[in-house]
Structure 1
Amino acid sequence: MKIRRFQGSNTREVLGQIRQSLGADAVILSNRNLAEGVEIVAAIDFDEEAVAAPAVTWPQALRQEEKPRAESPRLEDERESKGVQPTRAVEPVRQELQALQALVEKRWGRAQAVANSAPSCDPQWLKNLGFSSQLLPQLESATAELGARAGMRQVLEGQIGSLANPLGDGGIFAILGPTGAGKTTSVAKLAAQQVLQHGPESVALFTSDTYRIAGVEQLNIYAKILGVPVEVLRGPEDLLTALQKHHQRRWIFIDTMGLSPRDGRLDEQLQWLDALGNGLQRFLLLPASLAQYSLDQVLQPYTKLSLGAAILSKLDEAPACGAVLEWLAARKLPLAYLSDGQKVPEDIHALDWERLLDSMGLQSSTLAAATDSRYHEA
């Protein structure tokens, strides 16, 4: 008989290890809770003759002359075909093991059914994440076939896409977006990452955010910490002068004003930024919390521009970002970065679909825990 110990964070995980290592015919001998999770002892190739041998010492209770439990015809047939005679001492143990194995397999089947069905195919669950009719049919089909996490990734990755190596070997990058999106902090994060890798002499910061109170001062604080220069832009002439002054710096980041889409100054700023043509990379910063009814109105001025990619911000505050993801999918605007906090530079990350799914509440561990609780209740 082959006996092994298996340990894991929960019962479902350990049962999966047992099925993978020993197969479906394994039997459970014992289980106990550990500080870190669960331990289960399982066996395969149960040998009745070895168990019945005199060398094995059984508890006194098993040596008593008790009436054996009724055996099923299938078990009796198996014994006869193997030439094995049942013993009164072993039979209660064997039947207990078989009953336990049947219970484990039944619960495992329930757990698998729950994991495969919830919450992947529930249209209301998808709507709660912010998705509407545009992507719902694709998401329902993909999640029903592949499960919640894999199906969601397949659709989003196919419909939105990503921008590999967004900052490349250098360039001029303008961070655009509505008010409150976190443009200044995002500029500081991106600049700080380049300073850490290539040194402060490789980076310069520009800002046209002269409208917001303390906007310039906030960027100046970041620049002082990073040891990089700041240039304030009040018009296209300032932009051209600043570019000439810092032409030797490999990465130039421009923090822009966030204004109402009805404010004429926003269109004016976008026009002189757009005049740089392909020499300027335009990243649209989108808060994950933007709702469907306001997306088109708030972002309408930016749709006129040649946008390179998008940055999804405030993921730590709004996991239901389906509306924004649908907006990106409709315009085939790829994602470059995810931002999920205020720390500079830690809380900005090159796009990682697994990280995005985690931010949306699709953690594998969370689903496993939910599955465990649901089949235990059953």
Structure 2
Amino acid sequence: MKMRRFQGSTTREVLTQIRQALGPDAVILSNRNLADGVEIVAAIDFDEAELMAAATAKPQKPVIDQAATEQTETETRAVQKPEPVRQELQALRALVEKRWGRQPVANSVAPPALDRARLQGLGFHAALLSQLERAAAELGAREGMIHVLQEQIGALSDPLGDAGIIALLGPTGAGKTTSVAKLAAQQVLRYGPETVALFTSDTYRIAGVEQLNIYAKILGVPVEVLRGPQDLLSALQKHRGRRWIFIDTMGLSPRDERLNEQLQWLDALGDNLRRLLLLPASLAQQSLDQVLQPYAKLSLTAAILSKLDEAPACGAVLEWLAARKLPLAYLSDGQKVPEDIQPVTWDFLADAMGLATGALAAGGNSRYHEA
């Protein structure tokens, strides 16, 4: 039996190495995650009796040829002195192969089929469906989805930067005030209350200003109430020494003229303003275009996907972002300040959507993602 250890940044990359080095009859013995990728141990000229002997034999002192290469030494030690976990894996594999026969590597790690109905239940209906199916056929269900979302939406690596004016925009009930408090609290904890100021134009919602005042009092930062563009200019001048200014905006019907007025005087700040669109995960496909119509024409910086804990079926929102090439800045999944908001990680989003390893596979087959 010829055994070799392969390493790479992704499972797909390592499997390609195995096929090129050992051919289609190679068998996967074990795999594990590394800090910067994955490691897979594979073998060729696989003999059941030899495997069982390797799994049960007592460790022996290896005979090391001084002229051998480092790779040969590694392979020799792996065969002659197997680790306890590897012994169990080898014995288990031998038992399975004795009962059902040995399969070539191309079959043993074949990506599971994508459950189209499952994706439609999560809100995917447009062009992303076909892309997800193609990616899943090549990479596996979960990895395929993550690949497509990375390619079609992307993530903003540093939404707040070293300083800036950040306005949170979005429909009523998206969670703008709570999100402002979360982001402000994170900066206060890192850099101190003297670096942050809070502005709000949400003077139409009952207790809107009061809610932000409570957060500001806890954080020890000032609050300015904006009723028009002149208030905004005065407040910016007053707090020009603050590194970050967060603006909580009103959420109104897309047909309300007051919303358009607010967007116009915020737009007057030009590139000095970072506009983060807050999107609740619960937005349905049939209402997306109407609800978000006032914001679609703005020069948006990125989006925050909120309320993931309440509505994990956010495929329609993700399709809307993909169609506009608008990246994500943060993911929010609760009401706790400041914990329940974080920079985008696609694994976190997949988990929040209930897509545990193999969950997208027809029949729930998770074999492809044993690592």
**Secondary structure at the counterpart of residue 364 of structure 1:** coil
- Pair 210,112 (structure 1): closer, same or farther in 2 beyond 3 Å: farther
Q: Decide which of 205, 214, 233 is 1:212's aligned counterpart.
A: 205
Q: Decide which of 219, 223, 243 is 2:216's aligned counterpart.
A: 223
Deviation at 1:262, TM superposition (A): 1.1
Q: CA contact under 8 A between 2:118 and 2:360: conserved in structure 1?
A: no
For residues 202-228 of structure 1, give each alpha carbon's deviation from its aligned partner in whole angstroms, at most 9, with x where no partner exists: 000000111111111111111011100
Q: Decide which of 109, 112, 116 is 1:117's aligned counterpart.
A: 112
Match of 1:147 in 2: 140
Q: CA contact under 8 A between 1:27 and 1:100: conserved in structure 2?
A: no
- Asked if 1:103 corresponds to 2:99, the answer is yes
- Asked if 1:187 corresponds to 2:197, the answer is no
Match of 1:280 in 2: 273
Match of 2:310 in 1: 317
Match of 1:169 in 2: 162
- Supply the distance in 1 between the matched residues of 2:198 and 2:173 (Cα, whole angstroms): 19
Deviation at 1:44, TM superposition (A): 2.4
Deviation at 1:139, TM superposition (A): 1.1
TM-score, normalised by the number of residues in structure 1:
0.71
Listed as ranges, the gaps of 5+ residues in structure 1 are 1-13, 29-40, 48-96, 374-378
- Asked if 1:344 corresponds to 2:337, the answer is yes
Larger Rg: 1
**Secondary structure at the counterpart of residue 258 of structure 1:** coil
**Secondary structure at the counterpart of residue 286 of structure 1:** strand
For residues 109-167 of structure 1, give each alpha carbon's deviation from its aligned partner in whole angstroms, at most 9, with x where no partner exists: 9x957x7324xx22212211111132111111111111111111111111111111110
Q: CA contact under 8 A between 2:185 and 2:338: conserved in structure 1?
A: yes
Identity level (%): 68
Match of 2:352 in 1: 359
- Supply the distance in 1 between the matched residues of 2:94 and 2:338 (Cα, whole angstroms): 57
Match of 1:262 in 2: 255
Deviation at 1:42, TM superposition (A): 6.1
- Pair 26,176 (structure 1): closer, same or farther in 2 beyond 3 Å: farther
TM-score, normalised by the number of residues in structure 2:
0.72
- Supply the distance in 1 between the matched residues of 2:324 and 2:313 (Cα, whole angstroms): 20
Match of 1:44 in 2: 54
- Asked if 1:329 corresponds to 2:322, the answer is yes
- Supply the distance in 1 between the matched residues of 2:266 and 2:94 (Cα, whole angstroms): 74
AA aligned to 1:173 is I
Match of 1:9 in 2: none
Listed as ranges, the gaps of 5+ residues in structure 2 are 1-27, 33-38, 58-92
Q: CA contact under 8 A between 1:171 and 1:281: conserved in structure 2?
A: yes
| Match runs of 1:244-263 below 5 Å | 244-263=237-256
- Pair 144,235 (structure 1): closer, same or farther in 2 beyond 3 Å: same
AA aligned to 2:147 is Q
Q: CA contact under 8 A between 2:201 and 2:250: conserved in structure 1?
A: yes
For residues 80-131 of structure 1, give each alpha carbon's deviation from its aligned partner in whole angstroms, at most 9, with x where no partner exists: xxxxxxxxxxxxxxxxx9776412657999x957x7324xx22212211111
- Supply the distance in 2 between the matched residues of 1:137 and 1:167 (Cα, whole angstroms): 34
- Pair 218,272 (structure 1): closer, same or farther in 2 beyond 3 Å: same
For residues 34-60 of structure 1, give each alpha carbon's deviation from its aligned partner in whole angstroms, at most 9, with x where no partner exists: xxxxxxx9652789xxxxxxxxxxxxx
AA aligned to 1:133 is A
Deviation at 1:370, TM superposition (A): 4.6
- Supply the distance in 2 between the matched residues of 1:364 and 1:135 (Cα, whole angstroms): 20
Q: CA contact under 8 A between 2:302 and 2:326: conserved in structure 1?
A: yes
